[in-house]
Amino acid sequence: MAREPQIAEVLEKHRGEKHLVVLHNYPDPDAISAAFAHKLISAQYDIDVDILYSGKISHGQNIALVKLLGIDLIPYKEGMDLAQYQGAVFLDHQGATANGIVKALEVAKIPVLIIVDHHEPQSVVKATYSDIQKTGSTATIYAHYLMQELLPLQKGQKEHVAMATALMHGILSDTGGFIQADEEDFNAAAFLSRFSDPNLLERIMNQARSKQVMDVIRRALENRTVVENHSIAGIGYLRSEDRDAIPQAADFLVNEENVHTAIVYGIVRDENQVEVLTGSLRTSKLIFDPDEFIKEVFGVNSDGHFYGGGKQMAGGFNIPIDFLAGEPNQEYSQLKWQVFDTQVKARIFDRIGVRHTPVHE
């Protein structure tokens, strides 16, 4: 599966260095498991790897994955010293959802050595080696690296069992429990099943929805507008700790009768009053292209980079609010939300050809 130059050749060329794996904001099981696998594979080449992310680890399954498998993740903080690293690796994204870290790497003159991803190609960063494949998950790609014996797995080695279990979770989560899986995903899962721990995987996946997630789903249901088989829901403001509830609400809404595509969005606000309009898209329509849809609807920023993108059956977007961020008073906050909510809906309605003002459910 891997293209030339082989990833092993790139790692060999940088033997003995220290690298930084950069995950997208609010990393999911696919990103986390791929990073864990990359760290263990890199160790075969005496490369020390740190895994960096922005946002929060807030989804119940993600918290369980990190804690139960002992995966070390470092939260990114502005002003971090990156000079200790000789190279960066981007997994499960191509830089569009990690702008702060991308800029910090540019300032520190840290080269991007590797990109491994399964989303549609972007043009945010350039890497020495890129492996971008149309398959169900980035975890699938790493499973195939392991099948090529970049790291010979042993059943009795705890880290290998943890990695195989994590990658299995990554494939399951990004393929909707294999519903959207292709042949490569099934082959990868069959290989991983020889080393993964099914009891541990069950513990990771059987996490109840939190009260906060249920509240966001309730708000999405109350505020949704259904037009042309699209369910569109703006949920207002939410804390960065609850950001992972947005894709879960989209997963919930797309299962409604006569709905093939769900889009849920809100303004995510962190403790420093930084605000980002964040949204998730889920679809069950096979001929629907989430990447094309999101790029056409939301366009590009001042640097020419798209605000979002997607893969088969899913997508997302993040639009910094910048100057309008903050909350001088409650009235201002409500007016600001009304403006953003109206603008998002207007763009979506225009894309799907709806000219009238829809009636809320």
- Three-state SS string over 243-304 comes to CCHHHHHHHHHCCCCCCCEEEEEEEEECCCCCEEEEEEEEECCCCCCHHHHHHHHHCECCCC
Sequential DSSP letters for 134-178? -SS-HHHHHHHHHHTTSS---TT-HHHHHHHHHHHHHHHHHTTTT
What does the alpha-carbon distance between residue 310 and residue 292 come to, in Å, rounded to a whole number?
A: 8
pLDDT for 359 equals 46
- What is the torsion angle, in degrees rounded to the nearest 10, for the CA atoms of residue 312, residue 313, residue 319 and residue 325? -150
41's tokens = 């594979």
Distances, alpha carbon 39 to alpha carbons 49, 89, 105, 269, in Å: 6, 10, 19, 31
**Helix boundaries (H) for the chain:** 7-13, 29-43, 60-69, 99-108, 138-147, 158-174, 183-192, 198-205, 211-223, 245-253, 290-298, 330-352
Rounded to the nearest 10 degrees, the angle between the axes of helix 198-205 and helix 158-174 is 50
pLDDT for 356 equals 56
Q: Which CATH number is associated with domain 211-352? A: 3.10.310
Question: What fold characterizes domain 7-205?
Answer: inorganic pyrophosphatase (n-terminal core) (3.90.1640)
What pTM was estimated for this model as a whole?
A: 0.74
Q: Give residue limits of the domains in the chain.
A: 7-205, 211-352
253's tokens = 């809404």
Distances, alpha carbon 180 to alpha carbons 137, 171, 283, 358, in Å: 10, 10, 11, 31
92's tokens = 């499960």
pLDDT for 272 equals 74
H/E stretch holding 132: strand 129-132
Q: Which residues of the chain have pLDDT under 70?
A: 1-5, 208, 356-361
pLDDT for 5 equals 44
pLDDT for 49 equals 97
Q: Under a CB-based contact definition with an 8 Å cutoff, are residues 298 and 288 in contact?
A: no
φ and ψ at residue 262, rounded to 5 degrees: -120, 135
What is the tens place of the pLDDT at every residue in 198-254? 999 998 888 767 788 889 999 999 999 999 999 999 999 998 888 889 998 998 999
Number of Cβ atoms within 10 Å of the Cβ of 12: 12
pLDDT for 357 equals 57
